[in-house]
């Protein structure tokens, strides 16, 4: 389909331009007054014959549709996918063949537990769902930012979600997993342990959707033109690297900016800083299905990248924000059953359940079977079906609605009827033979090895954060027996982990674990291995300015950082302007009382006159801002008198290295006492510090 035709098709389903004429009713009748209902006299009763009043309220009363049971809170964007080269050796999927062909996509990111009104930065799994509008139909890759899931069989999904959701008697907590029912469930289901390790890691509090991995979770199949099948696992890798918040700032973000992640995605795209990811795959030939010490069909397991490397296939770029949140992000309907020729399913029992559940969910959310006609869901491939009628039918069909037929000339004909392939989807002919039973395979029974693998693969700071997360979550659990049972399960992952958690939540160290621990690790699982391209693009940098600031120095630093793609904002104790050392008034982007360090990636204290130094050192908001940036491991830069202001925090434990001569950089704190323009060395060191994202091992602040 040509781009012009796509644009015309899209335009046909847009609302009329409100600038082209006066207000009307739904029937097109022009309205001259919409502030008062029709009444019998100025103080008389409202008249029900007022059709505009009745239509307006009726439509408002029915504006809401059921929100998603899980993944209710989301943010989305449009973009495109392009392969690096033909993948024809292992799949016939058309969108993976030609590097010159861009496939349009819509991606929705989401949290799992909370409702639409919950915050972005809660500890939770994040959804990463991609709709490819391919020439052969829509392909939906519906995944998460973690490569495994809590359960092995979909029949347990209602139990898991009921346990994860807020407590039934008081609907608390919102958007959080730290409560009794969830931990009661997981402590009784050892298969959840691997996923719980991921959930307690920093992967559960991503810095940005643009800095978050995505995974297809399940093992799927690629099928090539010869009908040969290859097992495949899908990976999304962000160009900017994988970065997270720390738990303390994640919690503060929930109050300071509950829309932190969706705002970040929206503003970056609006600024032309498009989110970019690489699609990679792990490929396993059919004959190697049983070559591992785990089952490929088990969704609680990964294939370590050291065993099967991830092969890059192409890139995804998100470059356009939706025009209307409800019409697009809220009404987009994903379904794992939306596949194209060349991609097929496996017998993963969780995947099989999702093939039923996703379609069933859309039927009730979107009011019937015609949701695929909504613009955000409509394929760009031609659609010719015998489906008819139903709620919200927008197509005007003609001709016959059954097959076979002669009255309609036999149309639509069956694909491939004239010989050749004809773009037909054919399910992979897998041989299946077995008795009807309710029993899980013994190959699904190892619930601890990969949880231990994950723990062993973490750096020291990641392990520390995991222990802190378990302590926080279990500290919210009222039942002592659930705490004890969970710690006993953790001992089957690692005795040191279990002991540290037990100490923090006030229960006895666990008994001897039933499982022998191994020392295997996978470096690819640690965020230390996923730092990205080393740029500072879209990093948010705060410059703290007060009266007497060296405005020329600020301007030069802003330009230097902006040229490298950073977003730089001048913050002051008040809005408006500040008087620079040059006597001029200089604009302030935001007032300190309206923001916080947790909303930025780095902070710079510029130099200036004595007034600037005094105000920086004496302002409580400035001190708190710098203190929080320091203890959260963020880059801090100081120039001239700004170094003196920074030094006032030294008695509190902040450490400034060196004697102040020239540029000094120590664990992300970059200083230069020279007045005037920043040196090339300072700019370079500060940029490097920002690019590193976090700086671990700083001396702790005393307060």
- Report yes or no on 7 lying in a domain: no
- Report yes or no on 397 lying in a domain: no
Helix (H/G/I), strand (E/B), else coil: 485: helix
Residues forming a β-bridge with 74: 110
* Whether residue 650 sits in one domain with residue 611: yes
- Report yes or no on 602 lying in a domain: yes
* Whether residue 78 sits in one domain with residue 49: no
CATH of the domain at 33: 4.10.91.20
pLDDT of residue 703: 54
pLDDT of residue 152: 97
Q: Is 144 a catalytic residue?
A: yes
Domain limits at 632? 540-691
Find the catalytic residue in 52, 71, 465, 693: 71
Provide the token pair at 526.
Answer: 């640690």
* Whether residue 461 sits in one domain with residue 314: no
pLDDT of residue 415: 85
What domain count does the chain have? 4
* Whether residue 572 sits in one domain with residue 683: yes
Cis omega before residue 463 (within 30°)? Answer: no
CATH of the domain at 590: 3.40.50.880
- Report yes or no on 223 lying in a domain: yes
pLDDT of residue 656: 66
- Report yes or no on 394 lying in a domain: no
- Report yes or no on 413 lying in a domain: no
**Distance separating alpha carbons of residues 112 and 66, to the nearest angstrom:** 15
pLDDT of residue 11: 46
* Whether residue 521 sits in one domain with residue 465: yes
Cis omega before residue 633 (within 30°)? Answer: no
pLDDT of residue 189: 97
Torsional sign, CA 443, 445, 448, 450: positive
**Which residues of the chain have a pLDDT value below 50?**
1, 4-12
CATH of the domain at 480: 1.20.1370.20
pLDDT of residue 511: 83
pLDDT of residue 100: 97
Other CB atoms within 10 A of residue 363 CB: 14
pLDDT of residue 430: 87
Summarize pLDDT for 275-313 with one digit per residue, the tens. Answer: 999 999 999 999 999 999 999 999 999 999 999 999 999
Phi, psi at 530, each rounded to 5°: -130, 45
* Whether residue 366 sits in one domain with residue 315: yes
**Distance separating alpha carbons of residues 610 and 616, to the nearest angstrom:** 10
Query: In Å, how far are 293, 347, 518 from 500, measured between CA atoms?
Result: 29, 39, 19
* Whether residue 637 sits in one domain with residue 493: no
* Whether residue 278 sits in one domain with residue 234: yes
Q: Which of 528, 560, 582 is the endpoint of a domain?
A: 528
* Whether residue 290 sits in one domain with residue 198: yes
pLDDT of residue 676: 84
Q: For residues 564 and 536, is the Cβ–Cβ distance under 8 A? A: yes
* Whether residue 91 sits in one domain with residue 30: no
Find the catalytic residue in 52, 138, 144, 338: 144
């Amino acid at each position: 389909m040509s781009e012009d035709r796509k644009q015309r098709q899209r335009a046909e389903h847009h609302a009329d331009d409100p600038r082209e004429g006066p207000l009307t009713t739904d029937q097109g009748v022009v309205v001259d007054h919409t502030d008062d209902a029709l009444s019998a006299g100025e103080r008389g009763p409202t008249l029900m014959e007022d059709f505009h009043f009745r239509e307006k309220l009726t439509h408002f009363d029915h504006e809401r549709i059921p929100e998603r049971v899980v993944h209710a809170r989301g943010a989305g964007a449009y973009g495109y996918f392009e392969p690096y080269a033909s993948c024809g050796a292992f799949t016939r999927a058309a969108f993976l063949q030609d590097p010159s062909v861009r496939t349009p996509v819509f991606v929705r990111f989401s949290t799992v537990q909370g409702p639409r009104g919950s915050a972005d930065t809660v500890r939770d799994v994040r959804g990463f769902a991609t709709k490819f509008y391919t020439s052969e139909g829509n392909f939906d890759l519906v995944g998460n930012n973690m490569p495994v899931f809590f359960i092995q069989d979909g029949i347990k999904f209602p139990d898991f979600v009921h346990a994860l959701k807020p407590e039934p008697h008081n609907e608390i907590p919102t958007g959080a997993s730290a409560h009794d029912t969830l931990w009661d469930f997981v402590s009784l289901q050892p298969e959840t342990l691997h996923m719980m390790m991921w959930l307690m890691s920093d992967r559960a509090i991503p810095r940005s959707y643009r800095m978050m991995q995505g995974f297809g979770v399940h093992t799927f199949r690629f099928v090539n033109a010869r009908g040969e099948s290859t097992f495949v696992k899908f990976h999304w890798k962000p160009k900017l690297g994988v970065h997270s918040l720390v738990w303390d700032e994640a919690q503060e973000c929930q109050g300071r900016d509950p829309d932190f992640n969706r705002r970040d995605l929206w503003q970056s795209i609006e600024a032309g800083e498009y989110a970019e990811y690489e699609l990679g795959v792990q490929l396993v030939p059919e004959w190697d299905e049983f070559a591992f010490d785990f089952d490929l069909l088990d969704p609680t397991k990964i294939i370590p990248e050291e065993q099967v490397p991830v092969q890059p296939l192409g890139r995804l770029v998100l470059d356009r924000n939706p025009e209307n949140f409800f019409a697009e992000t809220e009404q987009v309907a994903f379904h794992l059953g939306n596949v194209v020729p060349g991609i097929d399913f496996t017998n993963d029992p969780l995947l099989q359940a999702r093939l039923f559940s996703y379609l069933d969910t859309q039927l009730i959310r979107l009011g019937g079977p015609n949701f695929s006609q909504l613009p955000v869901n409509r394929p760009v491939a031609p659609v010719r079906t015998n489906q008819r009628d139903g709620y919200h039918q927008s197509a005007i069909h003609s001709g016959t609605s059954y097959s076979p037929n002669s009255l309609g000339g036999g149309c639509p004909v069956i694909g491939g009827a004239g010989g050749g392939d004809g773009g037909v989807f054919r399910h992979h002919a897998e041989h299946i033979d077995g008795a009807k039973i309710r029993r899980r395979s013994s190959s699904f029974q190892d619930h601890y090895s990969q949880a231990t693998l994950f723990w062993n693969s973490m750096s020291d700071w990641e392990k520390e954060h995991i222990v802190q997360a378990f302590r926080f979550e279990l500290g919210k659990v009222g039942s002592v027996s659930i705490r004890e049972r969970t710690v006993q399960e953790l001992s089957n992952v690692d005795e040191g982990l279990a002991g540290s958690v037990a100490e923090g939540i006030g229960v006895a160290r666990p008994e001897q674990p039933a499982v022998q621990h191994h020392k295997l690790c996978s470096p690819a699982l640690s965020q230390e291995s996923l730092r990205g391209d080393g740029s500072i693009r879209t990093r948010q940098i705060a410059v703290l300015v007060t009266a007497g600031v060296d405005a020329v120095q600020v301007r030069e630093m802003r330009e230097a950082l902006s040229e490298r793609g950073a977003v730089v904002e001048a913050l002051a104790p008040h809005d408006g302007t500040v008087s620079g050392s040059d006597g001029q008034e200089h604009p302030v982007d935001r007032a300190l009382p309206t923001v916080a360090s947790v909303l930025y990636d780095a902070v710079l204290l510029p130099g200036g006159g004595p007034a600037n130094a005094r105000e920086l050192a004496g302002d409580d908001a400035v001190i708190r801002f710098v203190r929080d940036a320091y203890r959260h491991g963020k880059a801090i830069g100081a120039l001239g008198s700004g170094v003196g202001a920074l030094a006032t925090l030294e008695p509190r434990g902040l450490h400034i290295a060196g004697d102040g001569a020239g540029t000094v950089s120590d664990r992300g704190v970059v200083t230069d006492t020279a007045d005037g323009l920043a040196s090339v060395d300072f700019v370079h060191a500060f940029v490097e510090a920002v690019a590193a994202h976090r700086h671990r091992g700083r001396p702790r602040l005393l307060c």
